[in-house]
Amino acid sequence: MKKLTTIQLSVISYQLPVISLRRVAFRSNLSTVFLSKTTYCLLFSVYCSLFTATAQDSTKIRELNEVVVSSTRANQKMGMAFTNVYQKELKKQNLGQDMPFLLNQLPSVVVSSDAGAGVGYTGIRIRGTDPTRINVTLNGVPYNDSESQGTYWVNMPDFASSAQSIQVQRGVGTSTNGAGAFGASININTLSYQQEAYGETNFTVGSFNTLKTNVLASTGLLNDHFVVDARLSKLSSDGYIDRASSDLKSFYVSAGYYGKNSFARLNVFSGKEKTYQAWEGVPESLLKTNRTFNPYTYDNQVDDYQQDHYQLISSFKLNKNWTFNPTLHYTKGRGFYEQYKEQDKFSNYGLPNVVIGTETIKKTDLVRRKWLDNDFYGITYSLDYQSNKKFLANIGGAWNKYDGDHFGEIIWAKNASTADIRYRWYQSNALKTDFNIFGKAYYQVNDALNFYGDLQYRTVSYDIKGTADKRQDITQKTDYKFFNPKFGVNYQVNKASSIYASYAVGNKEPSRQDFIDNAPKAPKAENLKDLEAGYRLAGQKFNFDANFYYMNYKNQLVLTGQVNGVGEAIRVNVAESYRAGLELSANWKFAPRWILAANTTFSQNKIKNFTETVVNYDGDADKINKFSKTDISFSPNLIAGGQLSYTPTKNLEFTWLTKYVSKQFMDNTSDDNRSLNAFFVNDIRASYSIKPKIVKELTFSLLVNNLFNHLYESNGYTYSYISEKQTVTENFYYPQAGTNFLLAVKVRL
C-alpha cells in the first residue's frame, strides 16, 4: 500500500517540514560577503568619529539603548494589541525551556515541543498562526529564516538569558524588518545595561536528564563610557520522546561605547545545536500504549546546525530633534540533518542499478545528509524626529541579502553503485533580496486624542537555480512589491482608561517550499487586512485590556491535499478566509501579597470555501470534497491562561500557572477524527532568594510542569489517500510530557 512519505505541512504543522523548509543548503558568495564586511569596517570608522567623550548617567544610557528598537515597537497610544515582557519576569520562568515556553502565558499563545519537554525543537502559534507568519527581530534585525520564513529557537539556546525585554505584537502590528507579520511579531531587545559589575551562574537539573548551566558577567560602566557583557551556556536533555535528545551550546558577547549623545555596540552571539530527530510524531494507534514512540533508531539520525550572529548597533543624536540609528548585521548558518534510508531506489539519486552476474540490484540501504550553508547580511536603520511631545515621526527600513546553497550528500551506502563518498544527488543556489522603507508619524491633537500613521513599501526578489531533493528542476525567479499602510487612533477617556482602533494591511510572499512544490509556477502572494479595536484600563492595583480583532485574508496559502509531481503535499491559495476574536486580559493585586493575572481569547477562524483533494493511488481520478466555512487548522476557538502569585515574605514567591486550549483541527475539513483534543495543564513555580555575606544573591527555583499528569498532544498532522478502493486517513501526534520538574540555583556575585 502506497502512502505519502514526505508531508510538507508549513501551514498545518510546523514540525514535519522544519527540515524540508530549512535544511537545504547554501554556499556563501565569498566576494560579496568580503565586500560587505569591508563596508562594515569603513562605516564603523565613521561611527567612531561621531562620538564625544562626556560621562553619562545610567538613565541616558538606558534611553540610548531603547531608542534602537523603538521604531519597530508599539506603545499604549498606537491602537494596537501588544504585551511587553521584561527581564525580571523572564528570569522567573527561564530554567531551561526554550523561548516559546517562556511566552506561554501571553494572550492567544499556544506552544509545542517535538521532544515533549520544551527543550530542542519548539514552536509557538499566536492567534492560530504558525511560526512562518510570526515576524521575529533581534534588536530590530530580522531573525526568521529568509526562505522558509520560520523561526528556529533551537539555533539560539538560552537566548532569553541575554534578553532585556520582549514585545509581542498581535495582528499585523507596526512596520518592521524581515518576514511579513501575518499573525504576530516578536521583538527582542538584548541591549541591557548594568551600572555595576557583576558575575552570575545558573545551574538547572530536571526530568529526562535535563541539565542547564550558564555563566553571565558584566564589567558595568567602565570610565563612564565602556561596557562589556558576556554569557556562556550549555543545555542538554534526553527529551520525553524516545531518543529525542538535545545537546545545545551558545555564547553571547556585547561590547559598547557610550558618548554624550551617541553609542555603538557590537554584539556577537552563536548557537550550536545537535538534536536527535523527533519530527515524525507518534501514530494514532500507539498513543495509548506507547506515547514516547520514535520511529528513528539509527544512532546518528540527528540535526546538526550552527548559527553565528554579528550586529553592529549604534545611535547618534544629531541635534535636539533628530536621532539616527543604523545597524549592520551578518549571520552565518551551516549544518545538516542526517538520515538512514532503508532500501531506497538508486534511481532516486540518479544512480544506475547494480548488476552482479544475472542479478540486478535496484535498491540499497544508505545514509544521507541534507545540507544548508547560508549567509545573511544587511543594514537596518531609523531616523527619528521629535518636536515636543505632540509630534513624533521616524523613517526606517532595511536592505537584507540571503545567499547560499542547498545540497544533499550520500555518505554511506551498502551498495554504492557509481557513487563516491559524499556524492551529491541535488544542489541549488538561492538568492533573496529584501528591501523595505517605512515612515511613521504620531500626533497628539489634544490631551485626549491622538492619531498614528505608518506607511511601508517592501520589495522582495527571489532567484532559485538548480535542483531539489527529488532531483526536480526548481529554477525560477520572482519579484514582489508590497504596500503596507497602517493607521490608528487612541482616545484617553480619563486618566486611567482609553479606547483605540487601528487598521493595517500586510502582504507576504510564499515560502521556499511553496516555490518548489508549485514549480515552475509560483503561487500568489498573500494579503491580510487587520482591524483592531479595544479598551485599556490601567489602575494602581487593577489593569484590564479588551481587544477585538478581525483579520481578513485574501489568497491565504493552505494545504488542500493536492500533491506535486513528486508526490509531496503542497499549499495552494484559498480566496477568502478570516480570523475574528476577542482577547481579554487582566492583572489584579487583590491583597498585599497576592496577584492574579489572567487572559482569554475567544475566536472564530474560518475558510469561506475550501476544496479538499484526496489523492488516489489506484490510478483513478483524485477525490474532490467541497466544504463551506470550515475551521482553519490549528486555530482553537478558546485559549485561556492564568497565574496566581503569593509572596508570603519579600524573598519567597509561589505561582500557580494554568493553560487551557480548546479542540484544534489538524486540517481544514473540521473533521473531529482529524483533531487534537482540548487540554488543561497546570504548573507550579516557587522561588526563594537570600543574600548571604559571601555572595550578593542566592536564589533557589523549582518549576513543576503538568502537575496533574494530564496526557495531551499539542500538535500533529494528518493526511488522507485512496488505496485499493479504500479512503485511508493517517493521524500523527506530538505528545507532551506528563509531570516533570526543573530545579535551579542562581548565584550572583
Q: Provide the pLDDT for residue 179.
A: 86
Cα separation, 90 vs 103, whole angstroms: 9
Please state, in angstroms and as integers, the Cα–Cα distance from residue 223 to each residue in 49, 226, 314, 709, following that order: 19, 7, 19, 54
Give pLDDT, residue 11: 32
The reported pLDDT for the residue numbered 559 is 82
- In angstroms, rounded to a whole number, what is the distance separating the alpha carbons of residues 344 and 346? 7
Q: Which amino acid is at 678?
A: A
pLDDT on residue 534: 96
Nearest Cα neighbor of 150 from 108, 127, 118, 182 is 182
Question: In the prediction, which pLDDT does 64 show?
Answer: 65
All residue ranges of the chain with pLDDT < 70 are 1-66, 563-569
Within 13 Å of residue 361, how many CA atoms lie on the same side as its CB?
A: 16
Count, residues in the chain:
749
* CB proximity list for 668: less than 8 A, separation 6 or greater: 12, 558, 559, 560, 607, 610, 612, 627, 630, 631, 632, 633
Return the amino acid letter for 365.
D
User: What b/e sequence results for 685-697 when a residue is b if at least 16 CB atoms lie within 10 Å of its CB, and e otherwise?
Assistant: bebebeeeeeeee
CA 156 to chain centre: 11
Distances (CA, A) of 462 to 24, 375, 591: 16, 15, 57
Phi, then psi, of 62 in degrees rounded to 5: -60, -40
Neighbours of 318 (CB within 10 A): 14
pTM as predicted: 0.91
Q: Which 3 state secondary structure label does DSSP give 117?
A: coil
Strands 497-508 and 594-616, by their bridges, are unpaired
Which domains are seen in the chain, by residue range? 18-663+677-748 (2.40.170.20)
Q: Please give the pLDDT value at position 680.
A: 98
Q: Count CA atoms within 13 Å of residue 333 on its CB side.
A: 30
Query: Tens digits of per-residue pLDDT, 461-482?
Result: 999 999 999 999 999 999 999 9
Measure the CA–CA gap between 241 and 247, rounded to whole angstroms: 15
**CB-hemisphere CA count at 13 Å for 19?**
27
